[in-house]
Amino acid sequence: MKTRIISGVVAVILMIVVLLLHKTFVFNLAFGLISAAAIAELLRATKQLKFIEPAVACCAYAFIDAFMPVFHRNGWLTFFTNRLYFGALVLFMCVYYLRHHDKFTYKNFFLMLGVAILIPYSFGTLISMSADPKAGVYLIVITMCGAWLADTGAYFAGTFFGKTKLCPEISPKKTVEGVVGGVIANGLLMMLVSLIFDFADSDVSPRYFFILLAGMLAAVVGLIGDLTASIIKRQVGIKDYGNIMPGHGGVMDRFDSLLLVAPFMYYMYVQGLLVL
């Protein structure tokens, strides 16, 4: 427990620093590393790291995709777009497939390429929201809250009222009552966080009704992401994706729900439903 608490505190401090520097290259650097680490963990879990060259290429693509906006917003390397370096990744994967088709099958090809697309796409929405000139920090914080606060409500609701198992084969501790409590708590807590930002920062004007709605829907979306990651762990026979955070597991263990919540919140944001 001591190790879990210490690593949790360190992670929170690092996240606060990254948020405070969200307008600098540090934010892109951090999520580039997180994205690459998540891909490495998934490839290790599915036994794809034996194909070292495409594994490195997939991780490199994730890091480049997160870091390239640093150059673009300064007007540098504008020709080096996502379409170009993603095309380079696909071309490399095809060449590797042709050279090693006796061992590197189409299943390996599409699994690795799918992971390389999914992770950067999800974290890329966070980078896009951080670029908002007025509400960047708020949007990142509220998105993370949307992914993580539901667990608190679900824990207490499940502890006091939980009777009906949600999916015992995948996650034995989750109950229907806990999920309902998490959905309600997520909406209310996100409104509370928004209220704090509203009072502390005159540039942030949350749309409270939609924040409540987004929080409740994000709890469900995040649960789907969490259960999906859990199924993968069960199918490959591992407890955690990694040990980068002692006592908490790997990057995927902490960010699995965020992978689906971030694109959902980004959609709400671009539709003008989160802030005025």
Q: Is the same domain home to 149 and 112?
A: no
Q: Is the same domain home to 159 and 100?
A: no
Statement: residue 36 has pLDDT above 70 = yes
The pLDDT tens digits of the residues spanning 256-269 come to 999 999 999 999 99
Q: Is the same domain home to 41 and 157?
A: no
The pLDDT tens digits of the residues spanning 173-228 come to 888 899 999 999 999 999 999 999 999 887 899 999 999 999 999 999 999 999 99
Q: Choose one of 131, 157, 176: the last residue of a domain.
A: 131
E strands in 94-183: 165-167, 171-175
Q: Choose one of 107, 131, 155: the last residue of a domain.
A: 131
Q: How far apart are CA 31 and CA 34, in angstroms?
A: 5
Q: Is the same domain home to 125 and 178?
A: no
The pLDDT tens digits of the residues spanning 96-139 come to 999 999 999 999 999 999 999 999 999 999 999 999 988 999 99
- Radius of gyration, alpha carbons of the chain: 20
Exposed, middle or buried by CB within 10 Å (0-12, 13-18, 19+), for 200?
exposed
Write out the two tokens for 110.
């599409």
Give the global pTM. 0.92
Q: Is the same domain home to 126 and 139?
A: no
Q: Choose one of 83, 116, 131: the last residue of a domain.
A: 131
CA-based torsion, 186, 191, 192, 196: positive or negative: positive
Q: Is the same domain home to 188 and 110?
A: no
CA-to-CA dists, residue 177 to 186, 229, 237, angstroms: 14, 22, 28
249 three-class SS: strand
Write out the two tokens for 174.
């989750």
Q: Which helix (H) or strand (E) holds 250?
A: none
Q: Is the same domain home to 266 and 173?
A: yes
Q: Is the same domain home to 53 and 99?
A: yes
Q: What is the pLDDT of residue 146?
A: 93
Q: Is the same domain home to 66 and 155?
A: no
Domain range for 177 is 134-276
Average pLDDT, the chain: 92
Q: Is the same domain home to 142 and 162?
A: yes
Q: Is the same domain home to 91 and 207?
A: no
Q: Is the same domain home to 104 and 216?
A: no
Q: Per the structure, how many domains does the chain have?
A: 2
Exposed, middle or buried by CB within 10 Å (0-12, 13-18, 19+), for 49?
middle
Exposed, middle or buried by CB within 10 Å (0-12, 13-18, 19+), for 44?
middle
